[in-house]
Structure 1
């Protein structure tokens, strides 16, 4: 099983001085994330008091390239909305590191990956 859950705060600049540019990119990204909505994946941009947050959730049978798609999406977000930030937690139970969660962080236009220390090692932290 492969699963991921996360959020990305979408922002064009730290002070949101270019709100029209932000709105344009939100419309563009809304079209890009459509492929992440099916019976095992969910993606939605939510407007919370004119602050936009992308929520991503999935539980699939296999990874099947989803991880690279997610990283590509975050790289695209970093390019079009450079002040965006957030995290995606994922676990691939079929991979060689099945006892660990990993975190993909988007911050200051950079996408980085880390081994999680909050839920890992899954056995015994979250599983018996």
Structure 2
């Protein structure tokens, strides 16, 4: 199984008050097109607004690895260079990481891989096999 959950706060600058509204609208149009290309019955990826601010949400549980999930997360940071968020990914078919979540952190639009210490190792932290 391939499970993922995440969010991005879409900012153009280093903080929301620095955002250029025209640039935000342009960037959100581009992000919306990318998000629309990845909608299906097994994934939830959406651009939405709360209190006038744009966010992107990722949720899915697929049978196999989906490269587009991380690619889309990275691309949002490239488009809106002040964005921040987290993406938790678990690929049970990956022999190196099947028992743990990988965490991708976006800060100021740049994405880095982090080690998960909250839910991993999945067995025995959130599930128990072998008992």
Question: Normalising to structure 1: TM-score of the pair?
Answer: 0.91
Q: Is the 8 A contact 1:100 1:116 kept in 2?
A: yes
CA deviation string 1:72-115 (max 9, x = no partner): 22332222211100001010111112110110111122111122
**Runs of 4+ in structure 1 displaced over 4 angstroms?**
none
Ranges in structure 1 where 5+ consecutive residues have no aligned partner: none
Query: Deviation of residue 59 (structure 1)?
Result: 0.6
Give the length in aligned residue pairs. Answer: 125
CA deviation string 1:28-59 (max 9, x = no partner): 11011112211111111110011111001111
Ranges in structure 2 where 5+ consecutive residues have no aligned partner: none
Answer yes or no: is 1:57 the counterpart of 2:56. no
The verdict on how the C-alpha distance between 1:93 and 1:50 changes in structure 2, with shifts beyond 3 A counting, is same
Q: Is the 8 A contact 1:102 1:115 kept in 2?
A: yes
CA distance, structure 1, for counterparts of residue 125 and residue 37 of structure 2: 33
For the aligned residues, what is the CA RMSD?
1.3
- What corresponds to 1:104 in structure 2? 104
CA distance, structure 1, for counterparts of residue 123 and residue 75 of structure 2: 34
CA distance, structure 1, for counterparts of residue 38 and residue 18 of structure 2: 27
- What corresponds to 2:11 in structure 1? 11
